[in-house]
């Protein structure tokens, strides 16, 4: 199993997208990329912690490639938005790829460059690509939120 970590606005929607991806064995929503230890949802929403709402994906690389996970990531949000997705505004909603090793970093940078060259978007890609840092699991009521609420994505 390998890990991948992505931020793309509210973590509920991106988690649901990865849960439907063949080869993904588990997902967890949480907070990463900030400075506070063990932040709560309310801490992160304050904008003071520097964390992003993110999803951490455990996947089997023999069933799904990291590139395929990047494709899901690029397709579930607007990566040109700075610190927002739809009605959600704040640094916690930024677009980010948190890589766990050199291969993931290389793939993420190449994927971003390819997307920029594609002219798919009319604005620059704002997605940050940074090393993975401590991932703090969000409160239980956030985990598999759509599934718990019976909502389809």
Which sequence positions are flagged as catalytic?
10
66-75 and 102-118 helices cross at what angle (nearest 10)? 40
Contacts of 121 (CB under 8 A, 6+ apart): 78, 79, 80, 115
DSSP state for residue 138 in the 8-state scheme? P
The encoded tokens of residue 16 equal 């649901």
Contacts of 144 (CB under 8 A, 6+ apart): 15, 19, 27
Determine the Cα–Cα distance for residues 109 and 100; give it in Å rounded to an integer: 13
CA dihedral 140, 146, 147, 149 (to 10 degrees): 90
Cα separations (Å) of 74 from 82, 140, 148?
15, 26, 25
């Amino acid at each position: 199993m390998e890990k991948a970590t992505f931020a793309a606005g509210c973590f509920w929607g991106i988690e649901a997208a990865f849960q439907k991806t063949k080869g993904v064995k588990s997902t967890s929503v949480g907070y990463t990329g900030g400075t506070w230890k063990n932040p709560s949802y309310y801490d992160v929403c304050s904008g003071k912690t520097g964390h992003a709402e993110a999803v951490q994906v455990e996947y089997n690389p023999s069933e799904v490639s990291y590139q395929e996970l990047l494709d899901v990531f690029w397709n579930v949000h607007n990566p040109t938005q700075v610190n927002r997705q739809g009605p959600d505004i704040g640094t916690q909603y930024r677009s980010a790829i948190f890589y766990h090793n050199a291969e993931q970093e290389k793939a993420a940078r190449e994927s971003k460059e390819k997307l920029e060259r594609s002219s798919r978007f009319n604005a620059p890609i704002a997605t940050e690509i940074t090393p993975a840092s401590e991932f703090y699991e969000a409160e239980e009521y956030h985990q598999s939120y759509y599934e718990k609420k019976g909502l389809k994505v």
